[in-house]
Chains A and B, each alone.
Chain A
Amino acid sequence: MDTPRMTRPRVRLVGGVCAGFAEHTGLPLPLVRTITVLLTACGGAGLLLYCWLWATTPIAQDSTDPLKRVLTRPSDPAAADGDDAPARSAPVTEILLGVALLAAAGALVASRMGVDVPLAFVIPAIVVLGGAGLAWRQFDDLRSQRSSSSSALLVRALGALVLVALGILLFFVTGEEPNVWTVFIAAIAVLFGVAIVVAPWLFRLTRDLAEERAARVREADRAEIAAHLHDSVLQTLALIQQKADPASDASRLARAQERELRDWLFAGSPGSSVDLADELRRLAAVVEQEYAAQINVVAAGQSPSSVPDALLGAAREAMLNAARHAGGTVSVYLESSPTAVELTVTDRGPGLSLDDIPSDRMGVRESILGRMRRIGGTAELSPGPGGAGTEVRLLLPLTDGAHHVDV
């Protein structure tokens, strides 16, 4: 059940089939489009395949955060959120209708000029095509806005279906001698034609409904659980931290639990990338588990997603030092501009100056200063807030933008 399903994106050129297929298989989109066009030239095989996939693949879902809705639930749940209809950049039904009209005009002109056009065949075909195009358009509208003014849309859709039926009947009235069999075949043909036009819509409507119901149940369940955890467990953990001594085990455990729970509750989309700020938070969590310290990580700016490991190593060492020798509250501040990454680790411990450190202490000299120097950055040690504690400042210039990846 875990195999990813092929879905069509919400923003598409025609039906989103090529984009969905490219996404699913990992092939480049232009290649998929070209192959589709080539296959279409081969007796319409590409077109048939396209239509089949269009009818059978669902549209991609966009996920919204249901938790906030539940936490601040209105007293009267009247405000409903309308989900946006998929946006298409090529007007397919309009193109179909236009082609039908152009073909009609062309056939008319050609017959006037004396060319022998099988009008008895062409005119019904155009009527059927136009009717099908109109019907599909109405069904699409009907599907995207189910509730509002659906009766008017339904009438229009039925009108388009009548057009289809009329077109099919036209094939037969031009025949020579109407007998029981032609009437019978005409009736069957009309039923069959209308069924073909309606089938994809019905098929998708039922699948939409089933999917929507399942999704709603899933989302409601998850939101209920999340809201319950948020209301009970998170509040209790906050209360424990409020009551307990910040350096105590109870406070530390509560903090670690809170972080884990919060990660689960507010988990972003699974594909979201891990940037420098996330890495720092992860490191801080690891250090916090070992030492009696609280590490607050604050990030400003678009943090780069790839930085040299040495920067992370130096940051980790600075956090470890602060947690080990100072404890209490340690603040980490990361500021990432397009040209440089600046990271400060501030503690309120006994303080430490570079001159006091024996040269054989690897910790600060090698792991922080040396590491930063080797990747072309700098590291400075200075007294912390108000002259107490220590502040380690790491600065890494991003010269060529090689380390900075814009998302």
Chain B
Amino acid sequence: MSMSDPSAADLTVVIVDDHSIFRSGLRADLADGIRVLGEAATVDEAIALVVATQPRVVLLDVHLPGGAGGGGAEVIRRSAAQAPNTRFLALSVSDAADDVVTVIRSGARGYITKSASGADVSDAARRVADGDAVFSPRLAGFVLDAFGAVSGETAEASDELDRLSAREQEVMRLIARGYAYKEVAASLFISVKTVETHVSSVLRKLQLSSRHELTAWALERKLL
């Protein structure tokens, strides 16, 4: 962090996507203050680039050729240990649970669809860099489903990994209805920071839980 470097405050990112049109389109649309360190088109290129440049955030396509066929999830698994300060934000043309949960469980901090505007992607990248989680409405719906919130299961202890607390369920329900974090906070009369804490906690559960629905789901797709 040398103060003489004018770009020290910039958020550094790497764009990983196998479509050059999309990469250049996104690159042009990213907000000021976000500096692109490089682009990669395959799993192997991405791992090499992430390890070499150590960006703050990787904008990572879910479907990628190369490597062992694991796509974006493989990039996270194979490069996370060598880039400990890098966070991953997944991008895909669809937000189907199949695509989302694979990368989330591999360690991505959030998820956004490719049709999102450059401003939205920049915003999501900043939030991920700050250590927060980015949830789409559809992912929130999947989480409510997978953790049994729909059938009325509620966690009793705060450290329980396999169920959601009542507050987390409320937050997820509002996100599923399309509310932004700020709107969730206003509706529940809590601070935005508290909303972010709840969302991060849900993300952690989604990544670590050994709940039957999630493990069975992952096994079926050969993720474990």
Contact = CB atoms under 8 A, between A and B. Distances in A.
Interface of A: 68-69, 71-75, 79, 230-231, 234-239, 241-243, 255, 258, 262, 266, 296, 298-301, 329-331, 333, 335-338, 344, 346, 385-387, 391
Nearest to B115: A241
A79 B152 CA distance: 42
Interface residue range, chain B? 35 or more
B179 A385 contact: yes
Given A74-B67, A235-B93, A242-B115, A298 B140 contact: yes
Interface of B: 18-19, 21-22, 25-26, 29, 42-44, 63-71, 93-94, 96, 98, 113-118, 137-138, 140-142, 144-145, 149-152, 173-174, 176-180, 182-184, 186-187
Top 5 closest A-B pairs, CB basis?
A331-B178, A74-B69, A385-B183, A301-B150, A72-B71
A335 B144 contact: yes
A262 B94 contact: yes
Given A235-B93, A298-B138, A329-B178, A243 B145 contact: no
Contacts of A241: 115
Most chain A CB within 10 A, of B25, B29, B42, B64, is at: B25
A386 B187 contact: yes
Given A301-B151, A329-B178, A331-B177, 6 more contacts: A71-B63, A72-B63, A75-B66, A230-B63, A300-B144, A335-B150
Contacts of B64: 72
B22 A238 contact: yes
Contacts of B93: 230, 234-235, 238, 258
Contact of B66 (A74, A238, A262, A299): A74
Contact of A235 (B114, B140, B178): B114
Nearest to B64: A72
B111 to A, nearest CB: 14
A71 B71 contact: yes
A237 to B, nearest CB: 8
Nearest to A246: B117
Contacts of B70: 72
B151 A337 contact: yes
Nearest to A71: B63
Contacts of A386: 179, 182-183, 186-187
Nearest to B177: A333
Contact of B177 (A234, A336, A344): A344
A39 to B, nearest CB: 41
**Residue among A238, A299, A336, A386 with the most chain B CB within 10 A?**
A238
Contact of B65 (A75, A235, A335): A75
A231 B69 contact: no
Contacts of B174: 385
B68 A79 contact: yes
Contacts of B68: 74-75, 79
A234 B48 CA distance: 28
Nearest to A348: B178
B180 to A, nearest CB: 7
A48 to B, nearest CB: 42
A334 B177 CA distance: 9
Nearest to A344: B177
Contacts of A330: 178
A338 B151 contact: yes
Contacts of B115: 237-238, 241-242, 255, 258
23 contacts: A68-B63, A69-B69, A72-B71, A75-B66, A79-B68, A230-B93, A235-B114, A239-B25, A242-B29, A242-B115, A242-B117, A255-B115, A258-B115, A296-B137, A301-B145, A331-B178, A333-B176, A335-B173, A336-B150, A337-B150, A385-B183, A386-B179, A386-B182
A267 B67 CA distance: 27
Given A238-B22, A242-B25, A335-B150, A300 B145 contact: yes
Nearest to A238: B114
Contacts of A68: 63, 98
Contacts of A239: 21-22, 25, 114
Contacts of B184: 385
B137 A298 contact: yes
B118 A73 contact: no
A242 B174 CA distance: 24
